[in-house]
Amino acid sequence: MPTLTEILTEESRKTAVVDDCCKLIDEEVADKSGLSGLAIKAGYGAVKGIKPGFIRHVVSDLLPEFAKALEPFHNEAAAASKPVSAHFVANSARVADSLLGITDEKAKHAKSGVVKGTYEKLRPTAKKHVEQAVPRLGRLIEKHAG
């Protein structure tokens, strides 16, 4: 049986997965409101402005690591005969911690001052925002990995 990483990064599927991930990020950012929403939207705009396709490139590069981090949750859902999205939501804090562990490490080594600075400013509230994205993420995984 193929792993989640193998499924999501398989050449015939990877473009669609990356497209859906980029759409998920755009939707999550668009849904933000209030002062923190303004900060997130401004930061996202700054990062998107680094170069055309920057977000897509980052998503594509991070996809294998994110898939590997999500694999245990995907397997737990399968073992419990639960829908992936429901299991992800029930474990949203753990899912967020797994993904943020990857981005924290990447941010430490970012070459772009804009990326590093934006990440550092937004990181204190990142877990809450990633947890809010988990329902969409779970549906995305269900769509592409069954």
Give me the mean pLDDT over the 73-80 stretch.
96
Domain of 13? 4-145
* Nearest residue to 87 via CA among 127, 130, 141: 141
pTM score: 0.90
Q: How many domains does the chain have?
A: 1
Find all residues with CB under 8 Å of 3, minimum gap 6, and list them: 67, 68, 71
CA–CA gap between residue 20 and residue 54 (Å, rounded): 15
Check residue 110 and give its pLDDT.
87
Per-residue pLDDT band for 49 (boundaries 50, 70, 90) equals confident
